């Protein structure tokens, strides 16, 4: 990928295309500068894989994009895991927001 601006939309499209993701939520945690993202990725490619293998798949799929940003975190689930969690939380679960203040990385401007 060329050195273009990484956005929530570009990451979402890449994950859906490269990992056959059925559900993707990407949140820009950096206040709009495109340097820190968190995500929830649901893909059948994760079935039968542990957390480390799932994250390796994501990192490989987004190798060029991740090289251009400062921080990336991902919550990876199979479609069945996602459905069970949605039922348990009433649909109120999304990308991890650890280390944020109001969903933004503390100390960023914009």
Q: Is the pTM of this model over 0.75?
A: yes
Output the pLDDT for position 3.
Answer: 46
Q: What is the pLDDT of residue 31?
A: 75
Residue-level pLDDT at 35:
84
Successive 10-residue mean pLDDT values, the chain, 110 residues: 73 97 93 83 98 97 93 95 89 61 55
| CB environment 26-47: b (16+ within 10 A), e (fewer) | bbbbbeeebbbbbbbbbbebbe
**Where in the chain are the domains?**
8-87
Task: Give domain 8-87's CATH superfamily.
Answer: BolA-like (3.30.300.90)
The pLDDT of residue 103 is 56
């Amino acid at each position: 990928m060329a050195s273009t601006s990484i956005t929530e939309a570009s990451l979402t499209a890449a994950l859906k295309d490269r990992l056959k993701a059925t559900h993707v939520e990407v949140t820009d945690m950096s206040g709009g500068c495109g340097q820190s993202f968190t995500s929830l990725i649901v893909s059948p490619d994760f079935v039968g894989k542990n957390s480390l293998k799932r994250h390796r798949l994501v990192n490989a799929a987004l190798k060029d994009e991740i090289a251009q940003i400062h921080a990336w975190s991902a919550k990876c689930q199979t479609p069945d895991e996602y459905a069970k969690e949605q039922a348990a939380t009433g649909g109120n679960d999304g990308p991890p927001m650890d280390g944020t203040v109001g969903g933004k990385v503390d100390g960023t401007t914009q």
